[in-house]
Amino acid sequence: MRTDVTHLPAAKQRELERIVETIFEEFRGATENATGPRKGARILKIILFGSHARGDWVDAPLSANQYKSDYDILVIVSQKEMTDRAAYWASAEERLIRAYTIEKTLHTPVNFIVHSLHEVNDGLSHGRVFFMEVAKDGIALYEADDRELATPKPKTPEQALETAREYFEEHVASAAEFLEGYKFYMGRESWKKAAFLLHQATENIYTCALLTLSFYSPYNHNIAFLRSLAEGLDRRLYGIWPEATHRERSMFQKLKEAYTKARYSKHYRISEEELAWLGERVEELGRVVHQVCSDKIAELEAAARR
């Protein structure tokens, strides 16, 4: 695996150094009181993947309402227990978001995924496209040692087609059920329940895209995170959520927060008008994802016939 980032501008290289420092600082803080086997947990690798690793990133300003590439980071840890995002990584995530949105010390948003070495190697041995692309194009920003990842074992064309179809059919059906629930509660004027079910529909639509296209989706309910990963796989998924105004950006934020706040917070408020607007966007997202996934399955069908 490569270790140099000389293809990136100096400013981006410095940002990545700060990101690695932040990840280590917050991990130490989250594990300093660990006992038993967890006391020896450590970070094995921090890998830059995606467009910044490949060299095809886009740096359009947010004000232009154009696609802007994130830094995509894979953190590999020694123990599966250390992948618990809420327990060990929430502080790092919040700090990196704050550095980009408030402090402006980062000029590119950061998404990071955490997996154990066993999970990564298992993904490679089962031909999960996501992990294979990380292994092929990724750049190690940190390595505890020089151990290599497992040798990828790509799926046969027939296996790839069968897997993609299964993921597609499962999550299309699940998203449709959640949309039906959203419409039911809209009719009942139960706005919080409608918001939660619309969030679940959105999550399933993005998960459908990720699994069908790459055979991988993180265990994460953050639709902004899932959205970023999906948009990185196919640019047709970008532009569904208008971001030209503060109101438009805040609407997506309300949907993102609905997973927790619509169920548990008495302060969560969302109007019928907002829900109707969001529902239209989610249905459009579903249509685009259906087309993107159908195109991928057609490509896999062609490969299986050869």
258-290 confidence digits (pLDDT tens): 999 999 999 999 999 999 999 999 999 999 999
Confidence of residue 69 (pLDDT cuts 50, 70, 90): confident
Domain hosting 110: range is 10-143
In a domain, 2, yes or no: no
Place of tokens 């505890």: 144
197-241 confidence digits (pLDDT tens): 999 999 999 999 999 999 999 988 999 999 999 998 998 999 899
Residues 124 and 167 placed together within one structural domain of the fold: no
Token digits of residue 192: 């919080």
Place of tokens 């062609």: 302
Domain C-terminal end among 118, 143, 168:
143
Higher pLDDT, 250 or 33: 250
Residues 15 and 108 placed together within one structural domain of the fold: yes
The answer to which of 5-9, 73-77, 82-86 has the lowest mean pLDDT is: 82-86
97-149 confidence digits (pLDDT tens): 999 989 999 999 999 999 999 999 999 999 999 999 999 999 999 999 888 89
Domain CATH for 267: 1.20.120.330
237-249 confidence digits (pLDDT tens): 998 999 888 899 8
Residues 195 and 73 placed together within one structural domain of the fold: no
In a domain, 150, yes or no: no
Residues 125 and 186 placed together within one structural domain of the fold: no
In a domain, 243, yes or no: yes
Residues 300 and 165 placed together within one structural domain of the fold: yes
Mean pLDDT of the residues in the chain = 93
Best CA proximity match to 46, nearest among 10, 89, 9: 89
Domain CATH for 28: 3.30.460
Question: Number of structural domains, the chain?
Answer: 2
